[in-house]
Structure 1
Amino acid sequence: MSSVLQNAAFMAKSLGFDVLESLTTALNDAGYNNQTTKEVMIQSTDSAVLVKLKQQKAKYKLVYTLQPGIGDASASSLADVKEFAEAVVVDRSSFFAQSVHFIINQTSLLTDLQSAGLTVYAQVFRNEFVSQPWDFFGDETVEINNYAQSLNVDGLITDFPKTVRRYKSKLRLRSFIRVLLLVLFRLICSIDGCGAPAEPFRAFI
């Protein structure tokens, strides 16, 4: 379960409405502060909001949203973020440098964040090909696979959850087939004896 807090400071100062207090009260009244089966995350672009929650010793995962366009992070800034957040949300375009919608190279941001012990979520994935670099051929599944398998981000935030579920189901099927082929290969080898897998087989697994 994830809750996104936006404009909390404005609402508190200008409208006299403490959205942070209302949110934590609602979560606590629902019993989310005394359970371990579901992870509850509170996400905000305002570090002051997360600092306040940290001071209250809230039993929720605090997630800080970074501004788009950041390509790296200094050790001092990472240490500051670690003071009030366990995870960060990063715009997916921040992981690559681009030119004319083509990827030039990967930035150091993901390595910096994960090396500091922060969980990294990439956002926002959409099915429309115009929102993707041309390297992904207008295929949302290719893009998701790149972030999940090549970059190894910790999670994805998407406007199209069915697309991600479809990708995960295909990934599980591929893993099952891979294991099945390995079992068959070893069974055949135990009977007839054989060397390394043939090239097409090795390419598949």
Structure 2
Amino acid sequence: MSKDGVAFCLNSADLLGSSNAMTSFMSRSTMVSEIQPKSGIFSFDLTWSEIQTLTPQLTSPLPNSGLARNPANKNQGKFITLSDFLDFAKAKAVSGILIDIENAAYLASKKGLSIIDAVTAALSNATFDKQATQQVMIQSDDTSVLSKFKNVPGYKRVLSIKEIIGDVPKQTVEEIKKFADAVNLPRSSIVTTNGGFTTTFTTVVDELHAANISAYVSVLRNEYVAIAFDFFSDPVVELATYVGRLGIDGVVTDYPKTADAYLSKPITYPTV
């Protein structure tokens, strides 16, 4: 959210990593412990007009690897509002969209900004609440956010659990069912690794499926340093393990073409 209430698409409220904000707005740098443990230049402290003056910056999700991602296009593209994103999704007739809502409580209590109202209004204006052709998924790590979308039966609510877990007790599963239709989990909550090698398949997916809750995994990437050695550093082998072997219901990935190539003609592996 911008300071003047414009909802736009970005994976973090901190603009430092995704733009050249440091060169123009270093004086706006602040520390917001509710969001992250380090200082940043946050979108809610800049107006949408100010944000539009910034140049986007593509960064690697694996900074310690020394590998840059697509350096030739590091500063290509532009920041896009939520409304423009929804128009784009409709024009391209994609099968569905996922909107990840974070920091709603902080924005409402400290900045007077309702990201929930902004998302609700944008979806309604784009008539996503009045159609069943394109799936709408609302994701958040805050159950109170998911509760706000309960009255729209066409929306699928996804609980994001960022912490690494090894199982889901029955009582916890029953609590999740009150707020969410699916759970998005980090890879290590499903396949544990040690020293770059896989060690264990957890029971998390089976426990969620037993309660009729979908399980998603995130984030899958093609860079070989992000993939376990015994997946042969091959993103398709990793996909086959999560989908074909473990029965995951969906993947969140930086490389959708790779996922689509596998899912359009899945490769199954025998149970060992």
Specify the TM-score bucket, using the shorter chain as the normaliser.
0.7 to 0.9
Identity %: 37
List per-residue Cα deviations over 1:89-148 (Å, max 9, x = no partner): 011121123222212221111111111110111111000111122110111111111111
- SS in structure 1 at match of 2:193: strand
Q: Name the CA distance, whole Å, in 1 between partners of 2:263 and 2:144.
A: 36
Amino acid at match of 1:116: A
Partner of 1:58: 152
List per-residue Cα deviations over 1:136-170 (Å, max 9, x = no partner): 01111111111111111001110011111222344
Q: Name the CA distance, whole Å, in 2 between partners of 1:97 and 1:127.
A: 18
Partner of 2:40: none
- The answer to whether the 8 A contact 1:86-1:119 is kept is yes
- The answer to whether the 8 A contact 1:68-1:93 is kept is no
1:37 paired to 2:139: no
Amino acid at match of 1:148: V
Q: Name the CA distance, whole Å, in 1 between partners of 2:226 and 2:199.
A: 17
- Identify the match of residue 183 of structure 2 among 76, 79, 88: 88
1:4 paired to 2:132: no
1:138 paired to 2:214: no
Give the TM-score, by structure 1 length.
0.79
Segments of structure 2 that go 5 or more residues without pairing to the other structure are 1-96
Partner of 1:189: none
- SS in structure 1 at match of 2:113: coil
Q: Which structure has more helix as a fraction of its residues?
A: 1
Q: Name the CA distance, whole Å, in 2 between partners of 1:71 and 1:136.
A: 21
- SS in structure 2 at match of 1:124: strand
Q: How does 1:160-179 map to 2 (within 5 A)?
A: 160-171=255-266
Q: CA deviation at 1:38?
A: 1.0
Partner of 2:57: none
- SS in structure 2 at match of 1:53: coil
Between the two structures, name the one with larger relative contact order (CA 8 Å, sep ≥ 6): 1
- SS in structure 1 at match of 2:216: strand
Segments of structure 1 that go 5 or more residues without pairing to the other structure are 176-202
Aligned pair count reads 172
- The answer to whether the 8 A contact 1:119-1:154 is kept is yes
The RMSD of aligned alpha carbons is: 1.7
- Identify the match of residue 99 of structure 1 among 189, 194, 208: 194
Q: Name the CA distance, whole Å, in 1 between partners of 2:264 and 2:119.
A: 34
Partner of 1:20: 116
Amino acid at match of 2:113: F
Q: In terms of Rg, which structure is larger?
A: 1
Give the TM-score, by structure 2 length.
0.60
